């Protein structure tokens, strides 16, 4: 028996990858299906840029854990990201949320179920939160979510500021945010963060994007207790039943920076959390 008395279902596995037509270019979807009827379905909203690569293994483990429990899972690449088509300059929170709705519709076609949950990591938590209402989601799990989207953009800017110092380049505080606001892209370790993306984050909050009292699992690494506590308080005002978990390890993103600051840096420890999140979702999403 799994945790909470939930027994894993001994189904086989089916996996497929396909481009799904969308305005602005096809979206790549990676579908994980049980061999028998799906007990429910879960859409996984990834983080962005280097964080997407760092979290890919954890998302794969999560999807396979859900299949073990008899659920279908859908991973996907936002337009202009990964293997999806599209113009990176047009990536915004709105376009990513539309991509999530598209991926969910395709998953429902494959799985034959309307019982749906979502998972979102980092910036993907904002996408997942915004999709909960339109999709009628029964539960959502948010990994390493920032309460405010602007705080995520600021964190990217601070990461670049660190590299500026490493190259002995010094700029005033807020320099990169000001350049984004003036229409200049932020170049960060080979990725470009465009002004439209930053502008779409300026006034968006996780709690403000949720439809109301939806069961929510918050997972943060050590050192991000403040984010966890703020989100818990904000979600409580919506009446959301919150399960908040703080991991024993730090979740260090942008590996290049963190290997300099933390020589013992390891990949994000969310892979170990995947099974617990899968079981939590299964108990709340199952039809």
Q: How many residues in the chain?
A: 287
The answer to whether residues 189 and 109 belong to one domain is no
- Residue 141, phi-psi category: left (phi > 0), alpha (psi -120 to 50), beta (remainder): beta
Across residues 176-192, what is the average pLDDT?
90
Torsion, Cα of 162, 165, 167, 168 (10° steps)? 180
The answer to whether residues 43 and 129 belong to one domain is yes
Tokens 């202009």 belong to residue: 80
Domain that holds residue 18: 3-148+204-285
**Residue pair 200/94 in contact by the 8 Å Cβ criterion:** yes
Separation between Cα atoms, residue 138 and residue 187, nearest integer Å: 38
Q: Which helix (H) or strand (E) holds 44?
A: strand 41-45
CA dihedral for 136, 140, 144, 147, sign (positive or negative): positive
The answer to whether residues 47 and 111 belong to one domain is yes
The answer to whether residues 160 and 210 belong to one domain is no
Q: Predicted confidence band at 4 (pLDDT cuts at 50, 70, 90)?
A: very low
- Residue 79, phi-psi category: left (phi > 0), alpha (psi -120 to 50), beta (remainder): beta
The 10 Å CB-count burial string (b at 16+, else e) for 157-194 is bebbbebeeeeeeeeeeeebbebbeeeebbebeebebb
Q: Which helix (H) or strand (E) holds 121?
A: strand 116-121
**Residue pair 141/277 in contact by the 8 Å Cβ criterion:** yes
The distance from CA 260 to its chain's CA centroid, rounded to whole angstroms, is 25
pTM exceeds cut of 0.85: yes
More confident site: 266 or 104: 104
Among 203, 231, 246, where does a domain finish?
203
Closest CA to 62 of 225, 279, 285: 279
The answer to whether residues 247 and 144 belong to one domain is yes
Q: Predicted confidence band at 210 (pLDDT cuts at 50, 70, 90)?
A: very high
The answer to whether residues 112 and 48 belong to one domain is yes
The answer to whether residues 69 and 197 belong to one domain is no
Residue 240 β-bridge partners: none
Among 161, 180, 203, where does a domain finish?
203
Separation between Cα atoms, residue 253 and residue 152, nearest integer Å: 12
pLDDT per position as a tens digit, 30-43: 999 998 999 999 99
Mean pLDDT (the chain) is 89
Among 157, 186, 203, where does a domain finish?
203
Query: What are the structure tokens assigned to 124, written together?
Result: 């993907």
Domain count, the chain: 2
Tokens 């061999």 belong to residue: 35
The answer to whether residues 68 and 170 belong to one domain is no
- Look up residue 140 and give its DSSP letter: E
Separation between Cα atoms, residue 283 and residue 287, nearest integer Å: 10
pLDDT per position as a tens digit, 67-88: 999 999 999 999 999 999 999 9
The answer to whether residues 9 and 91 belong to one domain is yes
The answer to whether residues 209 and 93 belong to one domain is yes
The answer to whether residues 140 and 233 belong to one domain is yes
pLDDT of residue 6: 43
The answer to whether residues 79 and 219 belong to one domain is yes
Q: What is the CATH number of the domain that holds 16?
A: 3.40.50.1820
């Amino acid at each position: 028996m799994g945790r909470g008395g939930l027994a894993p279902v001994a189904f086989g596995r089916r996996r497929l990858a396909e481009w799904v037509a969308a305005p602005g270019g096809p979206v790549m979807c990676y579908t994980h299906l049980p061999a028998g009827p799906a007990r429910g379905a879960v859409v996984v909203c990834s983080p962005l840029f280097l964080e997407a690569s760092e979290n890919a293994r954890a998302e794969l483990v999560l999807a396979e854990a859900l299949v073990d429990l008899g659920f279908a899972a859908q991973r996907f690449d936002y337009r202009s990201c990964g293997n999806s088509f599209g113009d990176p300059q047009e990536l915004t929170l709105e376009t990513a949320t539309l991509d999530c709705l598209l991926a969910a519709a395709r998953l429902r076609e494959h799985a034959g179920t309307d019982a749906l949950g979502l998972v979102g990591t980092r910036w993907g938590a904002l996408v997942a939160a915004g999709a909960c209402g339109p999709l009628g989601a029964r539960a959502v799990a948010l990994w390493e979510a920032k309460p405010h989207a602007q705080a995520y953009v600021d964190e990217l800017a601070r990461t670049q500021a660190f590299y500026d110092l490493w190259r002995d380049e010094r700029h005033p505080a807020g320099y990169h945010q000001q350049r984004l606001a003036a229409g200049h892209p932020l170049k960060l370790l080979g990725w470009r963060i465009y002004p439209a993306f930053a502008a779409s984050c300026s006034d968006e909050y996780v709690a403000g994007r949720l439809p109301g009292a939806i069961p929510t699992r918050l997972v943060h690494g050590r050192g991000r207790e403040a984010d966890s506590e703020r989100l818990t308080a904000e979600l409580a005002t919506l009446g959301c039943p919150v399960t908040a978990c703080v991991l024993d390890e730090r979740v260090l993103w942008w590996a290049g920076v963190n290997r300099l600051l933390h020589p013992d840096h390891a990949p994000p420890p969310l892979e170990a959390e995947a099974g617990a999140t899968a079981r939590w979702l299964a108990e709340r999403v199952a039809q």
